[in-house]
């Protein structure tokens, strides 16, 4: 029987996997990571790496810099610099900052089953033995980092990789630091710091109370609104979290971090016009550091039937972070299927299955691929 794109059954197969990617919970909608960032070869595990970040003019960075170990194009967060740019980290002992580490695909802490499994990286180790071809670099929004090679580095080697230069990107308007923080009065800053300390001690009630106190004293305290939103998310109070992120953005429209939390929650609620508006703002403010903005922008455009715009964003997500998020290639494949580009769509689904061979949706994607391969053949 000849297959036709008018067949509802065929569309059901092709779209089923995408629906799993845009469900109503954080776990199912987040792009799946491709590798486990915590997987470090035994020879390098625990090896210390130290050095310093500085700007081109010799001055220290304007904010703490995330140290990344990059192998096979996949960044693995390893820690933070101090306020002056200096750093010393042990490989494989990453300290996760639940508020600020928003751009990484990280392994889930939940068991590998159910909807939560959709966010888990594939259980494959793509870090070369003895770190061959791996580099250390910095991650700071609005800056491009030079690299320091660490190929063959072992525990007893000299830890110092020297000075790594950060270059300001001219096309990035967004900031990792809110301009309103320096305007906060002493009482608001004190309340915010108490909230930070409480969260570090896992005292959520005390953290929420102090963050609320901080924004009551100073309503334009963007970072306090962001932290309050994260507390609400921990408690699954999503409406309150959305309101807090909107307040953070209203207080400082160039402060980037609240945007990502906002569009993820809006996507969970399937409010696609709002997702488009929020992701478009992120892409305008920083077209480089937030590949997930393109990913969600593509899904939102697909849902409002703007296929050309969806394809454009999906291709940008693939270009920026296919290694870290193979799911972006899958989404591009679904979009191209909608546009009846069956050959490239099938190629993308094959690549997705190869990158993530044991994902919960493997059987569904194989079904989709079988349909696409038949449609791609000359009739």
Summarize pLDDT for 108-133 with one digit per residue, the tens.
Answer: 333 333 222 333 333 334 566 677 78
Domains of the chain are: 8-32+178-376 (1.25.40.10), 48-168 (no CATH)
pLDDT of residue 347: 93
Higher pLDDT, 24 or 251: 251
Q: What percent of the chain has pLDDT over 70?
A: 77
pLDDT at 306 over 90: yes
Average pLDDT, the chain: 79
pLDDT band at 322 (very low <50, low <70, confident <90, very high): confident
Q: Cα separation of 116 and 113, whole Å? A: 7
pLDDT at 80 over 60: yes
pLDDT of residue 128: 67
pLDDT of residue 27: 33
pTM score above 0.85: no
pLDDT of residue 47: 74
| Chain segment 140-164, per-residue pLDDT in tens | 888 889 999 988 777 677 889 999 9
């Amino acid at each position: 029987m000849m297959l036709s794109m008018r067949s509802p059954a065929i569309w059901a197969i092709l779209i089923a996997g995408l629906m799993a990617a845009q469900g109503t919970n954080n776990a199912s909608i987040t792009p799946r990571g491709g590798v486990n960032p915590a997987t470090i070869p035994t020879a390098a595990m625990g090896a210390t790496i130290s050095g310093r970040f500085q700007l081109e003019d010799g001055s220290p960075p304007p904010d703490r810099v995330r140290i990344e170990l990059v192998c096979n194009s996949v960044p693995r967060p390893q820690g933070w610099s101090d306020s002056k740019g200096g750093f010393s980290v042990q490989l494989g002992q990453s300290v996760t900052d639940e508020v600020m580490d928003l751009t990484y695909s990280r392994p889930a802490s939940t068991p590998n089953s159910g909807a939560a499994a959709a966010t888990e990286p594939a259980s494959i180790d793509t870090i070369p033995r003895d770190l061959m071809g791996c580099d250390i670099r910095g991650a700071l929004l609005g800056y491009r980092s030079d690299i320091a090679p660490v190929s063959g580095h072992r525990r007893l080697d000299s830890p110092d990789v020297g000075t790594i230069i950060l270059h300001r990107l001219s096309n990035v308007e967004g900031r990792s630091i809110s301009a309103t923080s320096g305007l906060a009065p002493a009482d608001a800053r004190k309340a915010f710091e108490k909230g930070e300390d409480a969260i570090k001690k896992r005292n959520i009630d005390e953290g929420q109370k102090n963050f609320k106190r901080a924004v009551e004293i100073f309503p334009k305290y963007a970072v306090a609104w962001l932290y309050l939103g994260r507390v609400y998310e921990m408690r699954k109070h999503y409406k309150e979290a959305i309101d807090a992120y909107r307040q953070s953005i209203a207080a400082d429209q160039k402060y980037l971090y609240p945007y990502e939390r906002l569009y993820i929650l809006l996507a969970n609620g399937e409010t696609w016009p709002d997702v488009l508006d929020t992701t478009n703002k992120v892409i305008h403010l920083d077209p480089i550091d937030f590949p997930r903005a393109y990913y969600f922008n593509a899904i939102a455009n697909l849902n409002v039937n703007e296929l050309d715009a969806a394809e454009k964003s999906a291709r940008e997500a693939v270009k920026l972070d296919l290694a870290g998020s193979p799911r972006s290639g899958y989404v591009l494949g679904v979009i191209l299927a909608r546009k009846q580009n069956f050959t490239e769509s099938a190629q993308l689904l094959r690549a997705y299955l190869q990158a993530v061979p044991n994902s919960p949706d493997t059987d569904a994607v194989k079904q989709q691929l079988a349909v696409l391969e038949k449609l791609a053949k000359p009739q």
